[in-house]
Each structure stands twice: as structure tokens, then as C-alpha cells.
């Protein structure tokens, strides 16, 4: 690296934490897993990468972490190139892999402190204790990891990834196979990391996880990033809202004069659902309520529901390429 570290820091300070440019990956068998992916991850954000099985999420993460070689393009982490400055980039990164590595005969404590040592950090029992406690692993610190349950092993992977105090944490399906209560605990751990300034990139099939945690969401499909957006904006722009009217009297069918509203009658004929676009200036609700009343249709109750990130995601990946 020709420039001094201090100068480097100043330059890096103006950049994203991770900058991916035109990244491609063709596996040995000839399969193209990534097609010219470009993506910038801001410092301190939680970025959720969503995509169906085989979309290329793990490939992308593994390239950034130096486990898989790219076929083309470049990646910088904190301003350092992942190939040229591998040691610089690798020490900044913690990775919780999707696949569990071979079973270990080491204790939880030793696994984590050894990992810290590998990155050249001096021992810090206080820090490790804090990490293990935050992941509810403190009581298991002297247990051989092989003898832990699946969900505990997954938490050990997180503790191990955090052991060297990384600035960027990759979580490749962190809560797969973790029970609901623990998942909430892990979300708290991730939020706390963000509060400490750690940049977090996670992949998940529990879209609720992205909905809860992420600042931004990227959707990848067939090796291409098809969308990157602030989560809140994504949900606002692509989310549809529904108004459900619980009728006083069951309705045999939607009257012809109301057909332009695209109302759906429930199977038990008791509810009418109106779907509207929140981005539109006029939702049509006022007109609908007026026309319902004119048609002699009265309701007991009404409520609205907003589509979840999950529904938005399913819509996105179903779109023709």
C-alpha cells in the first residue's frame, strides 16, 4: 500500500465501507453465479441481502471475505482492495458462515479466543465474556462445541466471528434453525452492534428479519442485483394497503355498480377487501364508502393492513427477467 495509513483513513472516510464493482463469478463447472454486481454498503448500516435459493448471496459474501475468488470486478473494504490488501480487509471482517464448519472438540471459550488470536488481537477475556453473555453462551463457555444444540452452535459461530472485534460483520442466514425467542435475542445483538458502529450485512430467508433489522435492502436474483432501496421507502413505494370491511349482512356477489373497485369477496361472503396503492394521491376509499352506502351495503367494522416485505419480495422475484 503506497499511501500512509493516516492518509488512507482520510480517503477511506469519504468512501463506503464496502464498494463492489462489476463483480462476476463463473464457477469451475461453467456456472455463472454473479453477473456484474455493483453495490456500495455504507458505514454503520444494516444491509439485508434477500434472494431465493441459488441467487448468489453466499457467493457474493464469500468473495468479499476472500473465501471464493472472483472471476472479474473488484471489491474494496474500508478503502482496501480485497486481493491486494487481503490482510487489511480480512481483519476488518467477521463472517458467520451459512454452513457450519467441521465439528470442533474445543470448548466455546477456546474456539472464540483462538479465533481472536488468529487475527493477531491480544487476548481480552473481558471482551469475550461480554460477547458470550450477549449471546446467552456464558454458561456454555466450558462446553465442547460439538456437544451443543444446533441453535447454540450457530450462536458460537456468531461469537467466533465477533471475537476479533470486526468493523464489518457478515451474517449468512444467522438465524436458520434458531427458535423464535433466541432469534429475537440475536436481533438485539445485531442492533447493539449497529449502535456500536459495526456495519452489518445479512442474508436471510426470514424476511421478517430484514423487516425488523435492515436500514437498506438489496434483492438479488439469478446473480444480478435487481433492486437496492431504503427499507422504509421500499415498503412505502411497493407496499399495497388493503382495507377489509366486515359486512353486516353476507353478500352473495359484488354488485355490478362496484366492479371498478376490484373488490374481493371472502369465501364466507362476510368480508369485502379493497386493495389500494399507498403511493397514489387518491386511494379511492372515500368514493368507495359512498358507493357502498348507495348500494345499501353496510358494515360492522373495517380495518387496514399493509403488505409485508415478504409480499413485496415475492412480487419482485416473480417478475419476468
Ligand X SMILES: Nc1ncnc2c1ncn2[C@@H]1O[C@H](COP(=O)(O)OP(=O)(O)OP(=O)(O)O)[C@@H](O)[C@H]1O
CB of 232 to Mg ion, least distance (A): 26
Per CB under 5 A, 98 contacts Mg ion: yes
Q: What is the rounded distance in angstroms from the CA atom of residue 221 to the CA atom of residue 209?
A: 19
In the complex with Mg ion, the residue whose CB is nearer, 12 or 317, is 317
Residue matched to cell numbers 465501507: 17
Q: Which does 94 bind (CB under 5 to 8 A by kind): Mg ion, ligand X, none?
A: none
Selection from Mg ion, ligand X, none that 114 binds (CB < 5 to 8 A by kind) is none
* The three grid cell numbers given for residue 285, joined into one nine-digit string: 376509499
Taking the complex as a whole, the smallest distance from the CB of residue 90 to ligand X amounts, in Å, to 20
Q: Does 206 bind Mg ion (CB under 5 A)?
A: no
User: If you write DSSP's letter for every residue of 74-106 in order, what string do you get?
Assistant: EEEETTEETTTTHHHHHHHEEEE-SS--S---S
Binding site for ligand X (CB under 6 A): 27, 29, 31, 33, 51, 53-59, 98
Rank residues 108 and 158 by Cβ distance to ligand X and give the closer one.
Answer: 158
55 binds, among Mg ion, ligand X, none (CB under 5 to 8 A by kind): ligand X
Q: How far is the CB of 51 from Mg ion (least distance, A)?
A: 9
Query: How many CA atoms are closer than 13 Å to the CA of 90, on its beta-carbon side?
Result: 15
Helix H segments across 24-70? 57-64
CB neighbourhood size of 149 (10 A):
12
Q: Kindly state the smallest distance separating residue 62's Cβ from ligand X, in Å.
A: 8
Distance of closest approach, residue 218 Cβ to ligand X, in angstroms: 12
Nearer Cβ to ligand X (98/242): 98
Cβ–Cβ contacts within 10 Å for residue 231, how many? 19
Site for Mg ion in 51-80 (CB under 5 A): 57-58
Residues engaged in binding Mg ion (CB under 5 A) = 57-58, 98
Amino acid at each position: 500500500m503506497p499511501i500512509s495509513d493516516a492518509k488512507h483513513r482520510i480517503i477511506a472516510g469519504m468512501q463506503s465501507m464496502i464498494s463492489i464493482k462489476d463483480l462476476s463469478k463463473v464457477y469451475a463447472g461453467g456456472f455463472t453465479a454473479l453477473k456484474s454486481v455493483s453495490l456500495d454498503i455504507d458505514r454503520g448500516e444494516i444491509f439485508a441481502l434477500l434472494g431465493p435459493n441459488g441467487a448468489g448471496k453466499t457467493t457474493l459474501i464469500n468473495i468479499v471475505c476472500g473465501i471464493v475468488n472472483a472471476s472479474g470486478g473488484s471489491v474494496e473494504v474500508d478503502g482496501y482492495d480485497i486481493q491486494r490488501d487481503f490482510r487489511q480487509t480480512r481483519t476488518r471482517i467477521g463472517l458467520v458462515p451459512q454452513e457450519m464448519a467441521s465439528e470442533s472438540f474445543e470448548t466455546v471459550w477456546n474456539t472464540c479466543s483462538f479465533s481472536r488470536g488468529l487475527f493477531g488481537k491480544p487476548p481480552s477475556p473481558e471482551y469475550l465474556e461480554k460477547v458470550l453473555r450477549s449471546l446467552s453462551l456464558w454458561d456454555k463457555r466450558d462446553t465442547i462445541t460439538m456437544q451443543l444444540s444446533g441453535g447454540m452452535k450457530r450462536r458460537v459461530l456468531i461469537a467466533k466471528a465477533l471475537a476479533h472485534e470486526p468493523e464489518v460483520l457478515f451474517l449468512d442466514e444467522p438465524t436458520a434453525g434458531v427458535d423464535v425467542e433466541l432469534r429475537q435475542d440475536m436481533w438485539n445483538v445485531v442492533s447493539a452492534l449497529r449502535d456500536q458502529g459495526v456495519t452489518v450485512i445479512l442474508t436471510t430467508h426470514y424476511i421478517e428479519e430484514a423487516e425488523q433489522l435492515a436500514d437498506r435492502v438489496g434483492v438479488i436474483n439469478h446473480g444480478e442485483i435487481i433492486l437496492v432501496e431504503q427499507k422504509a421507502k421500499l415498503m412505502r413505494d411497493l407496499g399495497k394497503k388493503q382495507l377489509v370491511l366486515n359486512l353486516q349482512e353476507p353478500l352473495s356477489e359484488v354488485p355490478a355498480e362496484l366492479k371498478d373497485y376490484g373488490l374481493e369477496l371472502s369465501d364466507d361472503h362476510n368480508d369485502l377487501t379493497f386493495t389500494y396503492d399507498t403511493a397514489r394521491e387518491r386511494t379511492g376509499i372515500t368514493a368507495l364508502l359512498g358507493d357502498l352506502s348507495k348500494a345499501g351495503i353496510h358494515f360492522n367494522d373495517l380495518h387496514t393492513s399493509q403488505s409485508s416485505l415478504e409480499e413485496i419480495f415475492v412480487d419482485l422475484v416473480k417478475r419476468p427477467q
